[in-house]
Amino acid sequence: MPLYTDNIEQARAAYAKLEERVQSAEQRAERLQSVIEDLKKRIPLTVEEASSLRQVVLDREAQIIRLKDQLQATAEPSTGVLLDNFIAMLGLATAIGEASMPDRAIASVAATLQAHIALQAGGVGLRFYQPASSTAVGLATTSFEINKVPPPAGVSAPRNLYMVLETKQKLYADSFWTRFETAGQIIAEIAKVIADTGAWNFGFLVQSALRIADLERNLAGLIAGAAPLERVKAYSAAADGLRTLCQALAAKTNPVAGDLFLLTAAVDLTTTIGRSLLL
C-alpha cells in the first residue's frame, strides 16, 4: 500500500491496520507491566526464600573450602606412614614372598631407613620428605628386625600357601572330582595363581581365594548324594567360611602377616575335608 494516497478506501484500510498494531502494542505493554509489578511484589524475598538462598550460598562456600583443601592435599606430598604400619606392611610383604616359594623359608628380615621422624595421629610417623610441620624432629636413621617365632612344641607350623594350592590341585585331579566340570575350573584357577607368583600381593591372593571359594561352594551342591551327607555339609560349611573370610579380609585397610596365615589355613581346610570325601 502506498505511503500517500487520495483514495479514501485505501486510507481507511491503512488506518485500520495501524490501529490494530497500536492495540497489539498496548496489550504487550500491559502484560509487560504486569510482569514488572509481579516482580516488585516479590522483593524483598520471603523469610523462607531468604533462608533457602542463604543456605545455598553457605553450601557453595563450604564446597569451595573442601575443593581448596583437596587441591592443597593433592599438591602436597603424602604425610607419611606410621612406623607400626610400616613394620606391619614389611612383615606382610615378607610373608607373601615366603608363601610364593615352596622350598624356601625366611627366618628374619632387617631394615634400615632414613626418614624424618614426626609425631602424628596414632603414634610415631615416618616422612620421606622434608615436612613443613614443626613437629618433625629431623632426618633420622631407623633400624629394626622382624624374626619368625617358631610354633610351640607339638604344634605344626603354618603350611606354605604355594604348597597348599598345589595340594588342592592334586585333590581335584582325582577321578571322584573330575566328573564335575567345576573341579576342572578350580584346577585352572589355581594354575593361574601359581603361574603368576610375581603378581602376588595380599589383595590378589584374597581375590583368588574368593574365586576358589565360590567354585567350591558350587561343587558342594553337585556332590550331594555322592558322599556321606555329614561330610558334604562339612565341606560346604568350610567353603562358606572361606568365602566369608575373604570378604572380611578384602575390607581390611591394614592387613598383616597373620591375615595371610589365616587365609592359608582356610584355603587348606576345604582341601582337608574334601579329601575325607574320597574315603
> 239: which DSSP letter?
H
Give the residue with greater pLDDT, 204 vs 9: 204
The length of the chain, given as a count of residues:
279
Judge contact between 117 and 138, C-beta under 8 A: yes
In this prediction, residue 87 carries a pLDDT of: 85
Judge contact between 246 and 209, C-beta under 8 A: yes
- pLDDT tier, 151 (very low <50, low <70, confident <90, very high otherwise): confident
**pLDDT digit string, tens, across residues 221-249:** 999 888 899 999 999 999 999 999 999 99
- pLDDT tier, 19 (very low <50, low <70, confident <90, very high otherwise): low
Q: Is the pLDDT of residue 85 over 70?
A: yes
Amino acid at 64: I
Give the residue with greater pLDDT, 174 vs 77: 174
Q: Is the pLDDT of residue 77 over 50?
A: no
Helices (H), 131-178: 161-172, 175-178
Give the residue with greater pLDDT, 147 vs 70: 147
Three-state secondary-structure class, residue 114: strand
Give the residue with greater pLDDT, 187 vs 27: 187
Distances in whole angstroms, Cα of residue 158 to Cα of each of 106, 211, 237, 262, 268? 13, 22, 22, 9, 10
CA 22 to chain centre: 70
Amino acid at 143: S
Three-state secondary-structure class, residue 235: helix
Give the residue-averaged pLDDT of 207-218.
Answer: 97
In this prediction, residue 149 carries a pLDDT of: 82
- Cα–Cα distance between 218 and 215 in angstroms, integer? 5
- Measured in degrees and rounded to the nearest 5, phi and psi for residue 173 equal -85, -5
Beta strands, E only, 71-218: 81-82, 108-120, 123-127, 136-147
In this prediction, residue 242 carries a pLDDT of: 97
In this prediction, residue 134 carries a pLDDT of: 45
In this prediction, residue 106 carries a pLDDT of: 87
Cα-trace Rg, the chain: 38
In this prediction, residue 4 carries a pLDDT of: 45
Give the residue-averaged pLDDT of 174-198.
Answer: 95
In this prediction, residue 64 carries a pLDDT of: 60
- pLDDT tier, 148 (very low <50, low <70, confident <90, very high otherwise): confident
Give the residue with greater pLDDT, 80 vs 42: 80
- pLDDT tier, 150 (very low <50, low <70, confident <90, very high otherwise): confident
- Cα–Cα distance between 24 and 1 in angstroms, integer? 21
**pLDDT digit string, tens, across residues 21-52:** 656 666 766 776 676 566 556 656 566 665 66
Average of per-residue pLDDT values in the chain: 80
Q: Is the pLDDT of residue 8 over 50?
A: yes
**pLDDT digit string, tens, across residues 92-139:** 999 999 999 988 888 888 888 777 777 777 777 777 665 554 455 567
Predicted TM-score (pTM) of the model is 0.66
Neighbours of 274 (CB within 10 A): 27
In this prediction, residue 114 carries a pLDDT of: 79
